[in-house]
Amino acid sequence: MKIEPRIYQELAIKAALKGLRGRFKRALVVMATGLGKTLTAVFVTKKFRPKKTLFLVHNNHILKHALDEFRLVFDEKTIMVTYNGMSKDGAKEANIVFATWQTMGNHLTEWTQNHFDLIIVDEAHHSEASTYRPVIDYFTGAKLGMTATPDREDKRNIRNIFGDEVVNITLEEAIARGWLPRIEYHVVTDESLDDNALQEIAAEIHEGKKRFTMAEVNRRIFIKKRDVEITRIINGYLEKAIVFCDSITHAERLSKSLELAETFHSRKGEDQKDSWDKNQKVLGALHNGTIRRVCAVNSFNEGINVPSVGLVAFCRVTGVLTVFRQQLGRGLRPGKDKLIVLDFVGNLERIQLVLEMMNRISDIHEEYTPKNEIEHEGYVRQKFEVSGKGFEFTFSDEVVDLMKVLDHCEREFYATWQEASRAVIRMKISGMIEYKTRYKEDSRLPSSPQQLYQDFPIFSKFFGREPLHRFEFYPTLQEAGVAASCLGITSGPEYRERYKEDPKLPSNPNHIYEDFPSWKKFLNVRNWYSSWSEAQKAIKALGITSREEYNKNYRKDPKLPSNIYFYKEFRGWKKSFNEK
pLDDT at residue 318, rounded to an integer: 63
Between CA 480 and CA 407 the distance in angstroms is 48
Q: What is the CA radius of gyration of the chain?
A: 28
pLDDT at residue 467, rounded to an integer: 44
**Cβ atoms 519, 495 nearer than 8 A:** yes
Strand partners, 385: 382, 394
Rank 231-245, 325-339, 353-367, 554-568 by mean pLDDT and report only the highest.
231-245
pLDDT at residue 516, rounded to an integer: 72
Task: Give the model confidence (pLDDT) of 118-135 as tens digits.
Answer: 999 998 988 877 778 889
pLDDT at residue 80, rounded to an integer: 95
pLDDT at residue 70, rounded to an integer: 95
Of 99, 100, 111, give the one whose Cα is nearest residue 139.
111
Q: Return the ∠ at Cα 350 (arms to 228 and 345), rounded to 5°.
A: 15
Decide if pLDDT at 74 tops 70: yes
Model-level pTM greater than 0.75?
Answer: no
Decide if pLDDT at 93 tops 60: yes
Can you give 14-58 as a three-state secondary structure string? HHHHHHHCCCCCEEEEEECCCCCHHHHHHHHHHHHCCCCEEEEEC
**From the centroid of its chain, how far is CA 110?**
31
Between CA 263 and CA 552 the distance in angstroms is 71
Task: Give the model confidence (pLDDT) of 173-197 as tens digits.
Answer: 888 888 888 899 888 876 667 888 8
State the pLDDT confidence band at 62, using cuts at 50, 70 and 90: confident
243: enclosing H helix or E strand: strand 241-244
pLDDT at residue 470, rounded to an integer: 40
With a CB cutoff of 8 Å and minimum separation 6, the contacts of 123 are 57, 58, 62, 146, 147, 302, 303
State the pLDDT confidence band at 471, using cuts at 50, 70 and 90: very low
Cα separations (Å) of 2 from 37, 64, 79, 172, 197? 18, 21, 20, 30, 60
Task: Give the model confidence (pLDDT) of 334-354 as tens digits.
Answer: 667 888 999 887 777 787 778
233: enclosing H helix or E strand: helix 227-234
Average pLDDT (487-505) is 78
For the chain, the average pLDDT equals 81
